[in-house]
């Protein structure tokens, strides 16, 4: 996909610029003088509890809701300019789908608006993996199938900015992996992505750039600075394993029945297993885990947990 030169903000090119946006519903202030920018070819995650205003912000960016005041520019155009929507796409929830229409009907409508060929529609459907059920009515789709259709709809025009509201909702693990790979691929091809998601472990797999939305304000975090790798190990004798690991100075984060959560690196975990084996404690399973956005989320929203 072709790279595009965008407008300059300071020393960086920006694809999205949100400046001093305010939004209230009655007496409740949802967005409070909110500002941020997205540089070209970035993946940014928008994270916050239910009701924090994530969807409201995405709707305002895409012109579906009006801000009380503020300015939004996309590709150096006002978000009120209809030409913007030739260059961006917004994946909403499945309430925008029509049960009595087929998946292909939805794609064809967008294709007609965007002047796309049938081949372009089919190739996008194949990329997401929904071609086999394109001719079924959406009312017979599972939640995961609807999510795949919504993603296909969003990718049809090869957007320069892709905005996704809970793209992993209702997906099984295989589908989550597929969607993650698609997002990484289109990012490499030159598309900037802004996604809202509750799946913090998946966010850590696609980006370290996170905007936490709290009390109407954004807290920008580079999660790569907060990543913490630990290992979850199953052992035959938890009490004895704790005693051994304490003696050799291994940090134990948590103990849960036959599982230990320990902080160490990939080289030291082998020494841990050998030490336990030499003391007749069998390790039956090992899983590597990475804490990043989840740990920051807990600290930022600690009052609400």
What does the pLDDT read at residue 59?
96
Rounded mean pLDDT, 56-83: 94
Pairing type for strands 88-91 and 161-165 reads parallel
Is pTM, for the whole model, over 0.85? no
What does the pLDDT read at residue 273?
86
How far apart are alpha carbons 163 and 159 in whole angstroms? 9
Q: pLDDT (tens digit, 9 = 90+) per residue, 126-154?
A: 999 999 999 999 999 999 999 999 999 99
How far apart are alpha carbons 50 and 37 in whole angstroms? 23
* Residue showing tokens 């802004």: 194
How far apart are alpha carbons 227 and 241 in whole angstroms? 26
DSSP per position, 81-103: -GGGGGTEEEE--GGGS-TTSBH
Query: Which strands sit side by side in the sheet containing 228-235, from one edge to the other?
Result: 251-256, 259-263, 228-235, 283-291
Q: In sequence order, what are the residues at sequence separation of 6 or more whose Cβ sits closer than 8 angstroms to the Cβ of residue 273?
A: 233, 283, 286
Q: pLDDT (tens digit, 9 = 90+) per residue, 189-209?
A: 999 999 998 888 888 888 878
Phi, psi values for residue 226, rounded to 5°: -120, 10
Contact 231, 287 (CB under 8 A): yes
Q: pLDDT (tens digit, 9 = 90+) per residue, 255-295?
A: 877 888 887 665 578 888 888 988 998 888 888 776 667 77
Structure tokens at 154: 């969003």
What does the pLDDT read at residue 221?
77
57-72: string of b/e by CB count within 10 Å (b at 16+)? bbbbbbbeeebeebeb
Residue 291 Rama label (left phi>0; alpha psi -120 to 50; beta) = beta
3-state secondary structure of 238: helix
What does the pLDDT read at residue 147?
95
Average pLDDT, the chain: 87
DSSP per position, 15-42: EEEEEEEEEEETTEEEEEEEEEEEETT-
What does the pLDDT read at residue 1?
35
Q: pLDDT (tens digit, 9 = 90+) per residue, 231-244?
A: 888 889 888 988 98
Residue 249's pLDDT band (cuts 50, 70, 90): confident
Q: Which residues, listed in sequence order, are joined to residue 259 by a DSSP beta bridge? A: 234, 256
Q: Is the pLDDT of residue 304 over 70?
A: no
How far apart are alpha carbons 266 and 287 in whole angstroms? 11
DSSP secondary structure letter of residue 65: S
């Amino acid at each position: 996909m072709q790279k595009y030169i965008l407008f300059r903000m300071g020393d960086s090119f920006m694809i999205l610029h949100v400046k001093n946006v305010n939004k209230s519903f009655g007496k409740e202030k949802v967005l409070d003088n909110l500002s941020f920018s997205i540089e070209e070819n970035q993946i940014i995650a928008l994270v916050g509890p239910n009701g924090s205003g994530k969807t409201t912000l995405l709707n305002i960016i895409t012109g579906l809701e009006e801000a009380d005041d503020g300015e939004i520019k996309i590709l150096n155009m006002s978000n009120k300019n209809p030409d913007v929507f030739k260059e961006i796409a917004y994946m909403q929830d499945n309430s925008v789908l029509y049960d009595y229409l087929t998946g292909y009907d939805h794609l064809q409508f967008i294709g007609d608006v965007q002047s796309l060929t049938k081949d372009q529609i089919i190739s996008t459907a194949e990329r997401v993996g929904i071609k086999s059920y394109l001719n079924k009515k959406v009312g017979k789709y599972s939640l995961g199938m609807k999510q795949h259709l919504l993603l296909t709809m969003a990718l049809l025009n090869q957007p320069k900015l892709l905005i996704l509201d809970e793209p992993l909702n209702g997906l099984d693990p295989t589908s989550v992996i597929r969607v993650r790979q698609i997002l990484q691929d289109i990012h490499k091809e030159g598309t900037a992505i802004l996604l809202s998601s509750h799946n913090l472990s998946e966010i850590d797999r696609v980006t370290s750039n996170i905007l936490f939305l709290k009390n109407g304000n954004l807290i920008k975090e580079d999660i790569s600075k907060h990543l913490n790798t630990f290992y979850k190990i199953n052992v035959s004798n938890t009490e004895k394993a704790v005693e051994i690991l304490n003696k050799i100075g291994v940090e134990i984060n948590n103990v849960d029945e036959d599982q230990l959560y320990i902080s160490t690196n990939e080289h030291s975990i082998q020494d841990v297993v050998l030490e336990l084996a030499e003391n007749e404690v069998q390790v039956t399973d090992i899983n590597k885990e990475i804490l990043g956005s989840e740990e920051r989320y807990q600290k930022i929203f600690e009052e609400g947990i």
